[in-house]
Structure 1
Amino acid sequence: MKIFSAELIRKADLFTIENEPISSVNLMERAAISCAEWISINFKLNTKFAIFCGNGNNGGDGFAIARLLYSKGFNVQVYADEKTNNFSDDALVNLKRLKNINEIQLKDFDEFEKMTLESNVIIIDALFGTGLSRKLEGKYQKLVEDLNKIKNTKISIDIPSGMFADIMNEENDVIFKSDVTLSFQFWKKAFLHPESGNFAGKVIVLDIQLSEDFIFKTPSDDFVIDDELINGIFKPRKEFSHKGTYGKSILIGGSYGKIGAISLAVKSALKAGSGLTFALAPKCGVEILQTLAPEAMFIEGGEKNVTEINIVDDAIYGIGPGLDTDLLTAKALIQFLKNYSKPLILDADGLNILAQNPENLQNIPSRSIITPHPKEFERLFGKTQNSFERLDLAKNKAEELDIYIVLKDHHTQVITPEKKVFYNITGNSGLAKGGSGDILTGIITSLLAQKYSEEEAGILGVWLHGKAADFAAEKYSKESTQPTDVISELGNVFLELNKKATTWL
């Protein structure tokens, strides 16, 4: 799914209005219907709603939603600022329609300050949409501050009021804190970054049937990794194949006391479908690795640390889990990179070794994939003020070094050398545990060995990783999910993918 800026979304609206054709107020009605239908499915009929409407088109959405919810039997109260009398044309149309229903209470914002909402009332924010160009001030700032203090369930329409769609708000900006955001047609970039996404809560993207022709023809460098994209990447196994068909993975890592990390990477590579899998690790880990992953073969790379890395033809290397940054290990890795020219995967201590000297970055083979978490990224490329700046820096470095960067975060970003960004939306906080990154390294290495392209391996890898974590969290909870649980659930994710790929059977 493409991510469009607020300006492109506005153009998509206008194109749809002109070419469907449909009036702007009827397009607003279509959006409101999609919201009302989602709400009616997810809330009981005796639920009460307090809808706060601004004077622009977001407020018009709110007025229409209030009318539609009332028609479905819900109890609705609406708050607006009628005294200003500067409503947008479509908002005014829906305000007049609302006033024709005497049973719906329409109150001024001032009245809200004098009353207390019952705890079971759902608050709906329809104050400001994606057209907002400045931070909230005055009465709207105070209103949102007051609403944020209330513990009631909160829903935002299209975007939380006060949030900018495409750029980061300043630290002290006031933003409506939602539990759910019902976004029209697209994810907004701000939903996918931790500083702002925390205000959006659970994001539900509603299809309001904006022009498919416009969406298809309008370019974007930002994407959400959705099921459609994954279904286009995934390749079911062919019946007439053998272990050589699915590649040779060599996972390099482990050191005394850190054999668990390389074991997780090896197990996940196996589970992700690698045809032949090797663990290149120090001798001290041989019994552990051969016990935990008997399907993998062992290559001795040293006594307590990896101090020797030999080049094996026709293999894909995943380097870093538990590797340590021992002087001899670092020397072996840098020498290997100087002699090796094919794409590989670098993670964890593999990246920490490179970060010791900026010149080391030039040794990363072209089209390789690196998978840093924010702190590792900082060691490699320097500090940034926030995740928006970090992403911009990552795009520049991916282009400069001709590499793919899998920037791990709540919504991990896969950044291409062409500066395209793919945001992952699977996964949960159950992955916030040591070992989760090692699993991802194994998965991506395995996919690259199976002849997925670098871009495909990165995109499919982060999606698989997150989806398996979602399955695991459903079984064990986010708190109790362990990295080994995530590896175990990879099989169920592949079962789901294969069912979708063979629906014709």
Structure 2
Amino acid sequence: MKIFTAEQIRSWDQFTISHEPVSSIQLMERASAVLAHWISEHCKNHKKLAVFCGSGNNGGDGLAVARILYLKGFDVDVFVGDPKGKFSEDASINLKRLRDLSGISVRKFDQIEQYNFDDKTIIIDALFGTGLSRPLEGDYKMLVEQLNAKKNSKISIDIPSGLSADNMFDHDSVILKADYTLTFQSWKRTFLHPETGKYTGKVEVLDIDLSKSYSENTETVYFVINDSLVESIFKPRSEFSHKGSFGKAAIIGGSYGKIGAAVLATKSALKTGAGLTFILAPECGYQILQTSCPEAMFIKGGEEFITNFEIEKDFSCGIGPGLGTHPETGKSFLNFLKNYTKPLILDADALNIISKDPKNLKLIPKGSIITPHPKEFERLFGSTENSFKRLELARDKAKELDIYIVLKDHHTQVITPQGKVFYNITGNSGLAKGGSGDILTGILTSLLAQGYSQEQTCILGVWLHGRAADFTSGKCSKESMLPTDVIDEFGSVFEELNRKVEGSL
């Protein structure tokens, strides 16, 4: 799914209006009907609505939603800045339509203190949409602060008021904190970054039937990894395949006291389909690895830490889980990089070793995939003001080094050397545990071994990792789920994928 800027979204609306053809007020009515349907289906235990409408088209949506929900039997009260003030043309039409109905009161914002917000009242935020270009000020800022202080459930239309669609405003900006955001047609970038996404609550993308032609033909570098993208990448197994059809994956990692990380990465590679899986680890991990991962073949790389990185040329390698940063390991690893040209998966201590000298970055083979969390990224490339700046730096570095960066976060970002960014929306906070990154390394190593391109490997890999975590949290809870539980759910994800891609009788 493509992510468009606020300006592109406005153009999308206008393109739809001029090419369908449909009038702007008809398009607003269509969007409002979809919004009202969602609210009526999901808020059956809350029949009282307080709808706060701005004077622009987002406010027009709110006014139309209020009218439609009133006719569906909801108790609706509407708040506006000045009922006699200036509204956009479409908002004015909807305000008149609202006034033609008896039973809906239109109040001013300054009457909020006298209003009875009981525990069954839902606040609908229709103050500002994606066109907002600066932080809230004055009366609107005060109003949003008052609404945020209420314990009532809050639903924002299209975007929480005070939030930009494309970037973050000042750190102290006032933004409505929604429980749900009902957004039109596609995700907005600010929904996907930690500093701004915390205001959206659960995001529901509602299809209001904007022009598919515009979406298909308009360029962007930002995407959301959705099911249709994943299904276009996934390759079901041929019944006539054999172990040689799915490549050789090698996990290089482990050191005394950190063999568990290598176990997790190896199990992950095994469970995601590599034809043959090898583990290059120190001798101290031999019994643990052979017992816990009997399907993998062991290669000795040292005694208590790895000092020998010699591997066969046809391996796809994931390096880093539990590797440690012993000086001998670091020296041997950097020497290995100087003479190795195939793409690698690099994570954890492999990245920490590289980060000790900026010159080491140039040793990373072209086309490799690195998987830093924010702190590892900072050690590699330097600190940034926020996650938006970090992403732009990642785009620069991916292009400069000709590598793929999987920037781990709540919504992990896949950055390609061509500057494309894919946001992942599967997964949950149950992955915030040691070992989760190790299983991602195993997934990526396995997929690369099976012949997926680097871009496909990253996209399918982070989605699969998150999807398995979503299955796991439903069974174990986010608090008690373990990385090993996530590995156990890979089969459920593949079953689901195969059903969707191949179909079933």
TM-score by length of 1: 0.99
Is contact 1:267–1:442 with CA below 8 Å preserved after alignment? yes
Partner of 1:53: 53
1:301 partner amino acid: G
Tell me the equivalent position of 1:173: 173
Q: 1:279 and 2:279 equivalent? A: yes
Mark the CA change 1:84 to 1:400 in structure 2 (over 3 Å): closer, same or farther: farther
Alignment partner of 1:210 is 2:210: yes
Aligned length in residues = 505
Which letter maps to 1:259? Answer: I
Q: Which amino acid in the other structure matches residue 132 of structure 1?
A: L
Q: Kindly indicate whether residue 467 of structure 2 is the aligned counterpart of residue 467 of structure 1.
A: yes
SS at match of 1:82: coil
Deviation at 1:495, TM superposition (A): 0.3
Supply the AA of the counterpart residue of 2:260: G
Letter in 2 for 1:211: S
Looking at structure 2, the residues matched to 33 and 344 of structure 1 have their Cα atoms a distance apart, in angstroms, of 50
Query: Does structure 2 retain, via aligned residues, the 8 Å contact 1:306–1:323?
Result: yes
Cα offsets for 1:10-46 (capped at 9, x unmatched): 0000000000000001101111111111111111165
Q: Does 1:22 align with 2:22?
A: yes
> Match of 2:139?
139
Mapped pair 1:104 → 2:104? yes
Q: Is the 8 A contact 2:45 2:120 kept in 1?
A: no
SS at match of 1:255: coil
Deviations 1:108-142 (Å, cap 9, x if unpaired)?
A: 11111223411221111000000111110111000
User: Shift of the alpha carbon at 1:82?
Assistant: 2.4
**Are 2:294 and 1:294 equivalent residues in the alignment?**
yes
Distance (whole Å) between structure 2 residues aligned to residue 41 and residue 493 of structure 1: 29
Equivalences for residues 389-404 of structure 1 within 5 A? 389-404=389-404
Hey, what's the Cα distance between the residues in 1 that align with 2:323 and 2:225? 31
Q: Is the 8 A contact 2:46 2:120 kept in 1?
A: no
Match of 1:382 in 2: 382
- Report the residue type matching 2:172 in the other structure: N
- Please name the residue that 2:189 is paired with: 189
Unaligned runs of 5+ in 1: none
Q: Following superposition of structure 1 onto structure 2, how do residues 155-170 of structure 1 map, counting pairs within 5 Å?
A: 155-170=155-170
Q: Provide the C-alpha distance between the structure 1 equivalents of 2:504 and 2:146, rounded to a whole number of angstroms.
A: 54
Aligned counterpart, 2:126: 126
How big is each residue's C-alpha offset from its partner over 1:282-330, in whole Å with a ceiling of 9 and x where there is no partner?
Answer: 1111111111111111111000001101031211000000000000101
The separation in 1 between residues aligned to 2:490 and 2:118, in whole angstroms, is 44
Structure 2 distance, partners of 1:476, 1:324, is 31
Partner of 1:35: 35
How far apart are 1:504 and its partner, in Å?
Answer: 5.9
The residue aligned with 1:74 is 74
Counterpart residue number, 2:228: 228
Alpha-carbon displacement from aligned partner over 1:156-207 (angstroms, at most 9, x marks no partner): 0000000011011211100000011000011000000000000011111001
Distance (Å, rounded) in 2 between the aligned partners of 1:344 and 1:237: 24
SS of the residue corresponding to residue 489 of structure 2 reads helix
User: In the aligned structure 2, how far is the partner of 1:452 from the partner of 1:226?
Assistant: 18
Q: Give the gaps of 5 or more residues in structure 2.
A: none
Q: Percent identity?
A: 64
Check whether the contact 1:311–1:336 (CA below 8 A) recurs between aligned residues. no
Detail structure 1 runs of 4+ shifted over 4 Å in the superposition. Answer: none
TM-score scaled by length of structure 2: 0.99
Query: Given residue 36 of structure 2, which amino acid in structure 1 is its aligned partner?
Result: A
**What is the CA–CA distance in structure 2 between the aligned matches of 1:287 and 1:84, rounded to whole Å?**
79
| 1:491 corresponding residue in structure 2 | 491
- Preserved CA contact (<8 Å) 1:311 1:340: no
For 2:332 and 2:48, how far apart are their aligned partners in 1?
A: 66
Structure 1 contact 54–128 (Cα < 8 Å) conserved: yes
Letter of the aligned partner of 2:210 in structure 1?
L
Question: Is the 1:163–1:196 Cα contact (8 Å) retained in structure 2?
Answer: yes
After superposition, the Cα gap between the structure-2 partners of 1:46 and 1:122, relative to the gap in structure 1 and judged at 3 Å, is closer
Q: Which amino acid aligns with 2:491?
A: G
Tell me the equivalent position of 2:303: 303
